[in-house]
Chain A
Amino acid sequence: GENVEQHPSTLSVQEGDSAVIKCTYSDSASNYFPWYKQELGKRPQLIIDIRSNVGEKKDQRIAVTLNKTAKHFSLHITETQPEDSAVYFCAASVRGSARQLTFGSGTQLTVLP
Chain B
Amino acid sequence: SAVISQKPSRDICQRGTSLTIQCQVDSQVTMMFWYRQQPGQSLTLIATANQGSEATYESGFVIDKFPISRPNLTFSTLTVSNMSPEDSSIYLCSVEANQETQYFGPGTRLLVL
Contacts and interface: CB of A to CB of B under 8 A. Distances in A.
Given A89-B42, A105-B42, A43 B102 contact: no
Interface of A is mostly: loop
A20 B1 CA distance: 27
Interface string A56-89: 0000000000000000000000000000000001
Interface in B39-75: 41-45, 48, 56, 58-59
B48 A98 contact: yes
Nearest to A101: B102
Report, as a range, how many residues of chain A touch the other chain. Answer: 20 to 34
A54 interface: no
Contacts, number: 47
Contact of A34 (B1, B31, B42, B101): B101
In this complex, the member of A34, A43, A45, A49 whose beta carbon has the largest number of chain B beta carbons within 10 angstroms is: A43
Interface in A87-105: 89, 95-96, 98-105
Which of the four size classes fits the interface of chain B? 20 to 34
B106 A89 contact: no
Given A104-B42, A105-B42, A43 B96 contact: no
18 contacts: A32-B100, A34-B101, A34-B102, A43-B106, A46-B103, A89-B43, A95-B100, A96-B100, A98-B56, A100-B33, A100-B45, A100-B48, A101-B33, A101-B94, A104-B42, A105-B41, A106-B41, A106-B42
Interface of B: 1, 31, 33, 41-45, 48, 56, 58-59, 92, 94, 96, 100-107
